[in-house]
Amino acid sequence: MHTDIVQRLRYKLQKRARKVNSAGYQTFHFALLRWWEFLHSNEIFVGILEQLAYLVSSAEDDVKRIINGESLQGGTEEEEASLAFWIIKYCYEAKENPDIEIVIAHRYSHSSNHNEALEMFKDIFVEPLYEYIDEQLDDQRAVLGLLRRFKHSCEWFQRNDVLDIYQKEVERGTQEGKKGRGEKQLALHLYEYLYNQGLSFSIEPTSVSGEADLIASQNTDDPLIADVKLFDPSSSKNKSYIIKGFQQVYQYTLDFNEPFGYLVIFKTCEDGLAISAANQEQSTSFVTVNGKTIFIVIIDLYPHEKSASKRGKLKTHTISEDEFVTQITEDKEAQEEAGLLDNEN
Per-residue pLDDT, 223: 82
Closest residue by Cα to residue 145 from 287, 237, 49, 71: 49
- Are the beta carbons of 159 and 167 closer than 8 angstroms? no
3-state secondary structure of 177: coil
- Are the beta carbons of 264 and 228 closer than 8 angstroms? yes
Q: Measured between alpha carbons, how far is 344 from 291 in angstroms, rounded to an integer?
A: 32
Helix locations, the chain, DSSP H = 3-22, 28-39, 43-53, 59-67, 77-93, 100-108, 114-121, 127-136, 143-156, 159-173, 182-196, 205-209, 239-255, 321-344
Per-residue pLDDT, 341: 53
Residues present in the chain in total: 345
- Are the beta carbons of 158 and 118 closer than 8 angstroms? no
Residues in CB range of 127: below 8 A, 6 or more apart: 21
In the sheet with 285-289, reading across from the earlier edge strand, the strands are 226-231, 260-267, 292-300, 285-289
Q: Taking each helix axis from N to C terminus, what angle separates 100-108 and 28-39, rounded to the nearest 10 degrees?
A: 100
What is the mean pLDDT for each group of 10 consecutive residues in the chain (345 residues)? Answer: 80 97 96 97 92 91 94 94 97 91 94 96 98 84 86 95 92 81 91 86 60 67 87 94 95 90 96 85 84 94 84 88 89 70 54
- CA dist 31 to 17, 88, 162, Å? 9, 12, 42
Residues in CB range of 247: below 8 A, 6 or more apart: 327, 328, 331
195 burial level (CB within 10 Å; 0-12, 13-18, 19+): middle
- CA dist 173 to 170, 177, 238, Å? 5, 8, 19
Q: Measured between alpha carbons, how far is 258 from 140 in angstroms, rounded to an integer?
A: 11
Q: Measured between alpha carbons, how far is 236 from 241 in angstroms, rounded to an integer?
A: 7
Reported pTM? 0.75
Per-residue pLDDT, 178: 78
CA angle 229, 233, 235 (to 5 degrees): 85
261 pairs with which residues across the strands? 294
231 pairs with which residues across the strands? 267
Q: Measured between alpha carbons, how far is 118 from 285 in angstroms, rounded to an integer?
A: 35
3-state secondary structure of 318: strand
Per-residue pLDDT, 137: 86
- CA dist 306 to 233, 302, 309, 316, Å? 21, 11, 8, 17
